């Protein structure tokens, strides 16, 4: 392991980024799903910065309650403060906490990296929201009694309390989709907004992320038993429906739906389809003024294996213009051109089972 670390240091030489650390993670019996996602999140710089900031401010709180977020902040701090530039770290406390909190991740069976990412981000959001509400309550109770007793302000304070808390996780990962439905009888357009922390895309053989995004935003006609209830017509009508990105996120996380339930087989099957994901991505299915927002790829979580119930996860990460390959304890440098070997297979049966599964893109321009 030490040899692998020194090999990476030799490969980077004097190009080793100042202050950066490249550490592999020990595997605690099938925890590669967790390791691969944590590496991608560590190299998501805005996420790392916020978590380290949280660690610093939380350190001064006496008897701070341990939760998944404090364990993650401890782990990130442990990596960033290492004297060595490379090596191996055991994310033992984090994994123990994860298993304690969620029975889904308790077994030694093959877990899903996307499910884990979803759970982790939502858990961090919940913790931040609870802390923000607790701070607000403390602030309110420490206010002067006259202000609290002031009649008209009480309902307003309750109203403010019910407003959704916007956390730094939302600022980094959250985008807004708008679901537009146009009644084909009266032409009235109904729009409904919904937020997302990642986009799950259906995939096709020999396609690209751009074409998958176009399909995601394609117009669908609602007819027969799928008719839409139009409020203006007060009846079920045929309609056209489409989804657009109203506000793109700063960090765009794309999940490729590689595991599909096959009715005739009665089980899930892995789709090894070749889906090209570019290093630079332009979003064109967006609402004004976000037309043609550009993104740059900085991490890929890869599923290795031919089926959904077994296999392995690794991650590719771009750090300071270098691409690195993280496989549990092992970290090595790879050429940028090697990223395309993880697009998938053009043939149904191929010896290549290493396929891009979760993609992380960072916006190159303003998305606010």
**Cα 9 from Cα 1, distance rounded (Å):** 13
Q: How far is CA 329 from its chain centroid?
A: 22
**Cα 179 from Cα 63, distance rounded (Å):** 45
pLDDT value, residue 155: 43
3 state DSSP class of 240:
strand
- Pair 357, 343: CB distance under 8 Å: no
Handedness of CA 263, 269, 272, 278 (dihedral sign): positive
Instruction: Characterize the bridge pairing of strands 86-89 and 22-25.
Output: parallel
Could you state, in order of their start, the residue ranges of all structural domains in the chain?
Answer: 2-363
Secondary structure letter of residue 15 according to DSSP: G
Q: Where are the alpha helices (DSSP H) in the chain?
A: 2-12, 32-42, 45-59, 68-80, 92-101, 113-141, 145-149, 153-162, 168-173, 209-216
**Cα 32 from Cα 311, distance rounded (Å):** 10
3 state DSSP class of 365:
coil
In this predicted structure, the answer to whether residue 74 has a pLDDT above a threshold of 90 is yes
Question: Please, which contacts does 347-350 make with residues 24 or more away whose CB atoms are closer than 8 Å?
Answer: 348/272, 350/272
Partners of 255 in beta bridges? 200, 358
pLDDT value, residue 188: 96
Average pLDDT, the chain: 89
Q: For residue 192, give both structure tokens.
A: 């409904």
Which is the catalytic residue, given 303, 312, 322, 355? Answer: 312
Q: How far is CA 168 from CA 49, 54, 183, in A?
A: 11, 11, 38
In this predicted structure, the answer to whether residue 158 has a pLDDT above a threshold of 60 is no
Residues ≥6 apart with Cβ < 8 Å to 268: 259, 260, 261, 262, 308, 309
Higher pLDDT, 193 or 156: 193
Which is the catalytic residue, given 32, 34, 44, 183? Answer: 32
Q: Model confidence at 144, in pLDDT bands (50, 70, 90)?
A: very low
**Cα 326 from Cα 339, distance rounded (Å):** 13
pLDDT value, residue 288: 76
What is the average pLDDT across 93-97? 96
Is 312 tagged catalytic?
A: yes
What is the average pLDDT across 36-47? 98
Higher pLDDT, 140 or 225: 225
- Pair 28, 92: CB distance under 8 Å: yes
**Cα 209 from Cα 164, distance rounded (Å):** 32
Higher pLDDT, 262 or 257: 257
Q: For residue 131, give both structure tokens.
A: 């802390």
What is the average pLDDT across 9-21? 89
pLDDT value, residue 110: 83
Domain 2-363 fold is Cathepsin B; Chain A (3.90.70)
Is 303 tagged catalytic?
A: no
């Amino acid at each position: 392991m030490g040899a692998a670390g020194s090999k990476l240091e030799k490969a980077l030489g004097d190009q080793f980024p100042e202050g950066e650390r490249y550490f592999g993670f020990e595997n605690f019996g099938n925890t590669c799903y967790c390791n691969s996602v944590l590496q991608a999140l560590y190299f998501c710089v805005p996420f790392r910065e916020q978590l380290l900031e949280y660690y610093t401010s939380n350190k001064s709180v006496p008897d701070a309650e341990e939760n998944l977020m404090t364990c993650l902040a401890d782990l990130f701090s442990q990596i960033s403060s290492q004297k060595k530039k490379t090596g191996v770290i055991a994310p033992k406390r984090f994994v123990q906490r994860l298993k304690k909190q969620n029975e889904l991740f308790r077994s030694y069976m093959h877990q899903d990296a996307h499910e884990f990412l979803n759970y982790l981000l939502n858990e961090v959001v919940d913790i931040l929201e609870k802390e923000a509400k607790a701070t607000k309550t403390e602030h309110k109770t420490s206010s002067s009694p006259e202000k609290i007793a002031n009649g008209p302000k009480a309902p307003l304070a309750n109203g403010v309390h019910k407003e959704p808390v916007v956390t730094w996780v939302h600022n980094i990962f959250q985008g807004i989709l708008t679901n537009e439905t146009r009644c084909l009888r009266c032409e009235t357009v109904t729009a409904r907004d919904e937020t997302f922390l990642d986009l799950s895309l259906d995939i096709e053989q020999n396609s690209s992320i751009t074409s998958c995004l176009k399909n995601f935003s394609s117009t669908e006609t609602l007819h027969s038993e799928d008719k839409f209830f139009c409020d203006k017509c007060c009846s079920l009508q045929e309609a056209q429906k489409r989804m657009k990105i109203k506000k793109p996120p700063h960090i765009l996380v794309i999940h490729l739906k590689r595991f599909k339930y096959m009715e005739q087989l009665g089980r899930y099957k892995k789709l090894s389809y070749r889906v090209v994901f570019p290093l630079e991505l332009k979003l064109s299915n967006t609402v004004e003024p976000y037309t043609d927002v550009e993104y740059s790829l900085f991490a890929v979580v890869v599923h290795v294996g031919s089926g959904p119930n077994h296999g392995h996860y690794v991650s590719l990460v771009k750090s300071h213009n270098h691409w690195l390959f993280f496989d549990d304890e092992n970290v090595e440098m790879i050429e940028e051109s090697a990223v395309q070997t993880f697009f998938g297979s053009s043939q149904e049966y191929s010896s290549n089972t290493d396929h891009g599964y979760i993609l992380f893109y960072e916006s190159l321009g303003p998305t606010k």
